[in-house]
Structure 1
């Protein structure tokens, strides 16, 4: 053994092993950071942002605008929604290839869960969470459907018969579903017929709107539905009591992608994927207040609960733009490659 200890080869091997251990120990923090192991815990209120380029869901602290975690989702993600308890996120996988599914993410552990295959409902896109269920549009099947996380079953579906059933809005009680049909240039209002409780007959009202209408929102008081058409940029306003188109605004928001009311219902924001502008409208007077340029393409819109800020997913510029809604100016950016769908996750 003494001879072995004085052997030059033995000394060289021993030194190499010590050096390797020291290098590995020093690099360990870098490895943890690179693999996402150093991700911070999800706050009670977080901003969720999708990356279409990296196929990830980013969890962002809305206070300091820092990305806390990046979680892999399926290819071609478009929209995201969180459950009412803020613990689970659902991402629509639009169908890039053979995938037609909803990616599911545990926001507490920041890990993906088994995905949900939506077939035969193809091309899931728009998402909503209401009455304890996940509601989604299925563009490829010209339909909408719902998934019950408690029973772990897809429990309802209805066809619209309209081309490119795309975005979706659902009342809190799950009794009314609104959706835009892009290529058909229509809005569908689907209502649960309470007079036929045995088999829950649903009825549909189809209302013509501007060509290419995609993004839309329902006013906070539930009286109006606004949607903007990508073709000529016109805004269509529907009276939800009479279920009729009551006004068309020549907004010239060409390339209109998403539309959202501020929480107080006083303003409406429209994003343009073609120009990168965000159009700000007064909901009462129907007048344009300002156009805010965010870059080369504005997509998803998400507004703070207090109406102080708007977050815009700028897909072409690889960031989420932050707009101060008091000064109507861009005040910051969050780096997200191919940023698109946005949502809040809030734990009560």
Structure 2
């Protein structure tokens, strides 16, 4: 029979053991782009299962989710030259928007009005502003650079930034006037990009040089440069801007950065064929959903600890990803 003191000791020991990560309960829906399948998966987080799979256009890559989680927009990059618009809760295609005059649409993000998206057209070196509701092109802004691949937008939506992979620059564009405001020189082959909400800091990953640079957009200076990457594929800030995460396509790692102090907190190492790709945060800002192109999975990661909580199935070659709080019907 366990005496009182023994019971107290055992209680204290076992009460400090963390709950297994696999018990983490989440609700909502993930929408994942499968580049090799030309599909999107609608994954129910509560059951951790793919509930629906729908066709996109040819060669889909990136995805933007509306703030309310009702609309998912997919860029049909290789051969599709279009946007595919999905109703998330119904898990169905609403429309396809033709972008054949502005081919190779890749990066995509919603503007503040939540009915327009900014899309980088690598084939025309421009950013196209598209009204998702009407399906009409509202404006075309010339980046005046080559290989315009990804986009970043501050909270105000007054600016759009594009990484120009062939020109080794970022274009800063004014949405209202359609003017090129400046070209920011970067290390070689910039791809990954994000900007903070206030539009004062720009984060850029450069594939050839293995660098992630943080620029001061007020004075144009370099704040910090992180080294040692092989292919810093994507960079993303939490909504509270406490953490930044950087997925490395070739090193199979995820770096977690303290945004305020610009210090690397930890590096999470994955298996050889993980191939980290797309990133999106849960609204709690502490759980990250990361697509694994090599494993055909979504890896769910606790950011404060760097621990993998669990994995989710996807189709073939997952990349772009979005989170919706809505549950599938």
* DSSP-derived class of the 1:254 partner: coil
Supply the distance in 2 between the matched residues of 1:153 and 1:140 (Cα, whole angstroms): 19
Pairwise CA distance, 1:233: 1.7
Pairwise CA distance, 1:172: 4.4
Pairwise CA distance, 1:123: 0.4
User: TM-score by structure 1 length?
Assistant: 0.79
The change in CA–CA distance for 1:170 and 1:284 in structure 2 (over 3 A counts) is closer
* DSSP-derived class of the 1:299 partner: strand
102, 113, 121: which one aligns with 2:83: 102
In the alignment, what sits opposite 2:322? Answer: 343
Supply the distance in 1 between the matched residues of 2:290 and 2:309 (Cα, whole angstroms): 12
In the alignment, what sits opposite 2:291? Answer: 313
Would you identify which runs of 4 or more consecutive aligned residues in structure 1 move more than 4 Å? none
In the alignment, what sits opposite 1:267? Answer: 243
In the alignment, structure 1 residue 153 sits paired with structure 2 residue 136: yes
More helix by share: 1
191, 194, 215: which one aligns with 2:174: 191
Q: Deviations over 1:189-222 (max 9, x none)?
A: 11246xxxxxx35232110112122111112443
69, 72, 75: which one aligns with 1:89: 72
In the alignment, structure 1 residue 327 sits paired with structure 2 residue 312: no
Q: Deviations over 1:70-119 (max 9, x none)?
A: 111122110111234433221101123xx211112222332223311102
Which structure exhibits the higher relative contact order, with contacts defined as CA atoms closer than 8 Å and separated by 6 or more residues? 2
User: TM-score by structure 2 length?
Assistant: 0.84
The change in CA–CA distance for 1:333 and 1:49 in structure 2 (over 3 A counts) is same
The change in CA–CA distance for 1:64 and 1:216 in structure 2 (over 3 A counts) is farther
Supply the distance in 2 between the matched residues of 1:192 and 1:107 (Cα, whole angstroms): 28
Supply the distance in 2 between the matched residues of 1:158 and 1:151 (Cα, whole angstroms): 19
In the alignment, what sits opposite 1:66? Answer: 49
Pairwise CA distance, 1:338: 1.0
In the alignment, what sits opposite 1:213? Answer: 190
The unaligned stretches of length 5 or more in structure 1 are: 1-42, 194-199
The change in CA–CA distance for 1:333 and 1:45 in structure 2 (over 3 A counts) is closer
- Does the aligned pair in 2 maintain the 1:84–1:346 contact within 8 Å? no
In the alignment, structure 1 residue 136 sits paired with structure 2 residue 112: no
Pairwise CA distance, 1:250: 3.7
Supply the distance in 1 between the matched residues of 2:269 and 2:239 (Cα, whole angstroms): 22
The change in CA–CA distance for 1:124 and 1:114 in structure 2 (over 3 A counts) is same
CA RMSD, 1 decimal: 2.2
Number of residues paired by the alignment?
297
The change in CA–CA distance for 1:104 and 1:62 in structure 2 (over 3 A counts) is same
In the alignment, what sits opposite 1:32? Answer: none
